[in-house]
Structure 1
Amino acid sequence: MKEVKTLYSVLIGILNVYSVVCVVPYITDNSSENLRLDDGNWSGPRDSRESEWVKGAFNYVQNLKCEDVFFTTEKECLALLTVTQSSYVVHVAPFSGHRTYETVLPEEVLTRKDNNHQGVLVLDPYPTANFGHLVIVFFIDYKDKRTCDFENGIYLDTHGDCMTLALKRRCKNAIKRHGRRKHHARRCEINFLPFVYLANLSKSYNQKKHYNYLRCWQGLAGYSRCPELRDESVTTELICNPIRDNTKRCTTTHEMVHTNCNMFEICDQAVLISGGWNRQTTGVRFQRNLESIYWMLRKNGFKKSHIKTFFANGATGINVPGELAHHVHPAAMKLALRYHIQTMCRSPHCVNSLVLYLNSPAKSDGTMYLWDINSDGLAVDAEKYYLKEFKEDISNCQAEYVHVIVDQSFSGNIADAFKNSNDHRNVVVFASGKDNEYAFDDEFTRHWAIANHTTECTWQVQKQIKNLASKSNPESHEGQRGEVRTTIFGAPCHVIPPFSNRELRHDYLGCQSLPTALWIKKLFSDKNPWRY
């Protein structure tokens, strides 16, 4: 009897193993055994199931019928068909076996409740463009062909995977609304790389929820190289965290950033803002952009202490030949950023020429993403700089001139927002493109950095850039037409003969002394809206 029970137990064990192998054979796939990818990229074998995903996804894009496409505009779809395979960058969250992924975008949860997936693939057709720009996202699940066809998926028979196009929630019924497709198209676009993490983790593994499993596929034959990213060790936390460091230097209020408004002195000042959002969207090129603009400002008389830089989660500094590294504040400190701008704009005779450089990931409505402070992939108010807030911060600005240089996607929306604005009479906005265009290749920033600002008005610089731009259509708008016609440091243009270097240094570059009487008269004027 005892031997019978033992034999029975062995048979049951064999049957259990057999049933597992038969029902879920895909768990044994070894193309993605190690899901934690600490090196920042993913390098799968050429014959992996993930490589089959890439082939299926690219074939899908190449065979799009643009008159029927609903996840973007017909114009954008036609442009997409002209992008060569070698221009694409591929991102993948590799096959997860018996586990599943949850996926979120900055503005919404992409996967529905109880509908997680076993793989995520992203094709990025414009890896040199600033986010947000169109990316095509696919979900992968192990399903039979009948179910896959029923769900309008792409069936890959080698491993039995089914690929479906990821859609934002507001596009749920877009397929049925062909007559209103154009109205929904831009809102349906996925413009950011999703944040992908393992679902249903126990409380003891909560820290792993904030680990992004979506990685760029390095060295994938036939596709573009992965963008150069900042080192992972310097992007995991805020460089200046007020809770961790417990110092005045790291508070989120005005104590973090000292605003230089000295009595009887007026100066040129600048604020450089590059949000970044997360490591994947803030490559090293954005830090180079900041360095080039900082160098341009220093060359044109802006004092080091009068240039404040807010970058991603912070950085060790901006390096310019011949100078000590310039301190960089985290863009995540939104309150300090806004307080600094407001203080300069509300202080009479503080600023002559105020230059604001914006180079952040952006939504189509002009909202700028700063930094994902809690690393959950979803953007809350403290992590976004709204266009409405930006307009409020520089409304009725007491600076003599305000030059806003915007090199980010959909920058035309910001320019349009200031057109003929009575509250922004001394503001001029120079945008890298129209309201529906992406910002490509950092070419707008490069042109501004190398332009001759000694004699040329900012308007002239913008006109030259417009003639040189290859992929976008730079545009500009101002609060009151003709109010701002100066160089970037506030000097008049078209002066004949041109100013000498001595005249520029004495009268326009950096800081100038103000007569005591003029200061006092302005300070106590009843017409001054920011009177102390």
Structure 2
Amino acid sequence: VLAILPDSYSSSGLISSKFRSAFGIGRLANGRESRHRYQAPFLASVSHDAVLVLDPSPSENFGHPVALFYVDFNVTKKRCSHLDGIYLEECLTQALKGRCQNQLKRWQAGPERLMEQGHSWLVGGAPRRATFSSQVSGRLCEVHFLPLVVGVGDSNRTQRLRCVHTEFSRCPQLVPMGSPSLPVSSCELNKNTRRCHQQPLATHLSCRLYQTCDHAVLISGWRQQMTFQRHVQNLQRFYRMLRINGFHKDHIKTFFASSGHNPEELEGAYSATEKAVIRNHVSYVCRKQHCADSLVLYLNSPTRNDGTMLLWDANLNGIADLKERYSVNELLTDLAGCRATRVLLFVDQSYSGVLSKRLRGSQKHLNGLLNITLAGAPCNATPPLTDSEMRRWYQGCQNLPTALWHRK
């Protein structure tokens, strides 16, 4: 099998043996160096008999360290030791991402320590829990995602990695997803079925004349293997919270999975396969004068250690291509100088500190949260505002005076 990581893409287009493998040890089990060159974006490590992944934090969103091991049979104990592996009748060698800093630094916790007890994802082998040294966290060569594990020569790239239930943690409940919709180019007029229909996002209808409203954008999901039922529940709960606080359903845009993959629980959600659509919508609501009173963003995607969000894997190659990742720089650009009265970011994902630090030091993102509610009402009004007053003056949409609208 071959293992492919979302962040194993190389902008140079070619990976040669001098950079070792795309994200692995760069050596065959028999000791020969890999001399093949791989054409991006499909980068793969040297093939191995099996792949074992140990997840020490199964309740956390991906973007946290996991331990990835290659398993090879018919390797001598001496040769396995030479490969810095552990010999358990078969050879177990740890994989790190290639082309990264600190690549030559050794993990303080060896394979023996990582195999003591617990929970795993694997193709072949027995499940154990991974235990990490505190000195390991933050190293740029760590693996932070479940890989796409495919058989050699499998053009369909079928995911062969499976979760094994242990005493440490139950396997997460995957989101049931139907067949993805056909590409728009494949939907001829005589095949105009519901699966071919894609509701476009009419962003220009989001802002109405002489009216300011509360808007929200919700983003989540990356491949079915890393998209669990709890992520759908997160979106549902946040959506309900917004509705309770007066947000109109037409002003809440949810981007999740791909067209045809959206579960029934997220009716009306848009696919997260088009980064341009997401960015254009956020930018438009921000740039349009008087459009947004409160602009709320809820982010719940797998995240790289630089804060970059992974959107849906549209081409199913297992690699987060440029169109499938939303960087902190891009998000800050879309929110820079936003004309919304206030912008609130709920960052329910790994490495949120990267975005938080950038915002604290920015002079282009000054409308942050003050001592007010989500809809902009004062927190300490005396006497307290009634529900009717909240709806009339703050929640949802309010009409604006014509003079204010036309003021330069």
TM-score of the superposition, structure 1-length normalised? 0.60
1:272 to 218, 224, 229: 218
Secondary structure, aligned partner of 1:206: coil
CA distance in 1, matches of 2:276, 2:47: 36
- Relative to structure 1, the CA distance from residue 283 to residue 245 in structure 2 (aligned partners, 3 Å threshold; closer, same or farther) is farther
Shift of 1:419: 0.5
Structure 2 counterpart of 1:243, from 153, 168, 185: 185
For residues 318 and 401 of structure 1, the distance between their equivalents in structure 2, rounded to whole angstroms, comes to 32
Q: Percent identity?
A: 40
Q: Aligned in 2, Cα 1:326/1:302: closer, same or farther, shift over 3 Å?
A: farther
**Quick one: distance in 2 between partners of 1:136 and 1:359?**
23
TM-score by length of 2: 0.78
Distance (Å, rounded) in 2 between the aligned partners of 1:215 and 1:175: 28
Matched with 1:339 is 280
Residue correspondence of structure 1 range 457-472 to structure 2 within 5 A: none
CA contact (8 A) 2:302 2:350 kept: yes
Q: Relative to 1, partners in 2 of residues 1:172 and 1:416: Cα closer, same or farther, differing over 3 Å? A: closer
Matched-pair contact (CA < 8 Å) for 2:103–2:141: no
Match of 2:83 among 142, 151, 154: 151
Change (3 A) 1:125 1:182: closer
1:193 alignment partner AA: L
Kindly report which structure 2 residues correspond to 1:78-477, keeping only aligned pairs within 5 A, or say none: 101-108=1-8, 109-111=22-24, 112=26, 113=34, 115-142=46-73, 143-157=75-89, 161-169=90-98, 170=100, 171-175=102-106, 186-199=139-152, 201=153, 206-207=155-156, 210-218=157-165, 220=166, 222-231=167-176, 233-234=177-178, 237=180, 239=181, 241-245=183-187, 250=198, 255=201, 257=203, 259-274=205-220, 276-314=221-259, 315-316=261-262, 319=265, 326-428=267-369
Q: Which has the higher contact order (CA 8 A, sep 6+)?
A: 2
- Partners of 1:343 and 1:317 lie apart in 2 by 28
CA contact (8 A) 2:299 2:349 kept: yes
CA distance in 1, matches of 2:310, 2:366: 27
Q: In the aligned structure 2, how far is the partner of 1:116 from the partner of 1:362? A: 27
Higher Rg of the two aligned structures: 1
One-letter code aligned to 1:155? Y
CA distance in 2, matches of 1:119, 1:261: 53
The Cα of 1:269 is off from its aligned counterpart by 0.8
Offset at residue 125 of structure 1 (A): 1.0
| SS class of match (2:283) | helix
Equivalent position amino acid for 1:149 in 2: S
Structure number having the greater helix percentage: 1
Following superposition, the deviation at residue 184 of structure 1 comes to 9.4
**C-alpha distance in structure 1 between counterparts of 2:185 and 2:278, whole Å:** 18
Q: Is the 8 A contact 2:65 2:137 kept in 1?
A: no
Q: Give the CA deviation at 1:128.
A: 0.5
For residues 193 and 318 of structure 1, the distance between their equivalents in structure 2, rounded to whole angstroms, comes to 26
Q: Distance in 1 between matches of 2:359 and 2:397?
A: 28
Which deviates further from its counterpart, 184-193 or 277-286?
184-193
Post-superposition offset of 1:110? 2.3
Q: CA deviation at 1:149?
A: 1.6
**3-state SS in 1 of match to 2:155:** helix
Contact 1:106 1:379 in 2 (8 A): yes
Q: C-alpha separation between the residues in 2 aligned to 1:265 and 1:173?
A: 58
CA apart distance, 1:117: 0.6
* Inter-partner Cα distance in structure 1 for 2:291 and 2:64: 38
Q: Which residue of 1 aligns with 2:384?
A: 498
Separation in 2 of the partners of 1:343 and 1:304? Answer: 18
Equivalent-residue separation in structure 1 for 2:263 and 2:366 (angstroms): 34
State how far apart, in whole Å, the 2-side matches of 1:146 and 1:422 are.
Answer: 59
Deviation (angstroms), 1:313: 2.2
Query: How many residues get paired?
Result: 342
Inter-CA distance 250–256: structure 2 relative to 1 (3 Å threshold): farther
- Contact 1:250–1:256 (CA under 8 A) maintained in structure 2: no
Q: Distance in 2 between matches of 1:410 and 1:316?
A: 26
1:127-166 deviation digits (Å, cap 9, x = unpaired): 1100011111110111111211221211123xxx111111
Query: Distance between the aligned counterparts of 2:335 and 2:158, measured in 1?
Result: 37
Which 5+ residue runs of structure 1 have no aligned equivalent?
1-100, 320-324, 429-483, 526-532
Can you list the C-alpha shifts for 1:426-455, whole angstroms capped at 9, x where unaligned? 035xxxxxxxxxxxxxxxxxxxxxxxxxxx
Query: What one-letter code is carried by the residue in structure 1 that aligns with 2:79?
Result: T
Q: Secondary structure at the match of 1:489?
A: coil
Q: Give the SS at the match of 2:47.
A: coil
**Secondary structure of residue in 2 paired with 1:424:** coil
Checking the alignment, whether the CA contact within 8 Å between 1:404 and 1:427 is kept in structure 2 is: no
Are the aligned partners of 1:418 and 1:427 in contact in 2 as well (CA < 8 Å)?
Answer: no
Displacement of 1:312? 2.2
State the distance in 2 between where 1:249 and 1:195 align.
29
- Helix, strand or coil: the match of 1:308? strand
Structure 1 partner of 2:112: none
CA gap 1:138/1:400 in 2 versus in 1, 3 angstroms: same
Paired AA for residue 192 in structure 1: F
CA distance in 2, matches of 1:282, 1:378: 15
Instruction: Quote how far apart the aligned CAs of 1:243 are.
Output: 3.5
Cα deviation code 1:101-124 (max 9, x no counterpart): 111211113244463210100111
- Taking a change above 3 Å as real, the CA distance of residues 259 and 183 of structure 1, as seen in their structure-2 partners, is farther
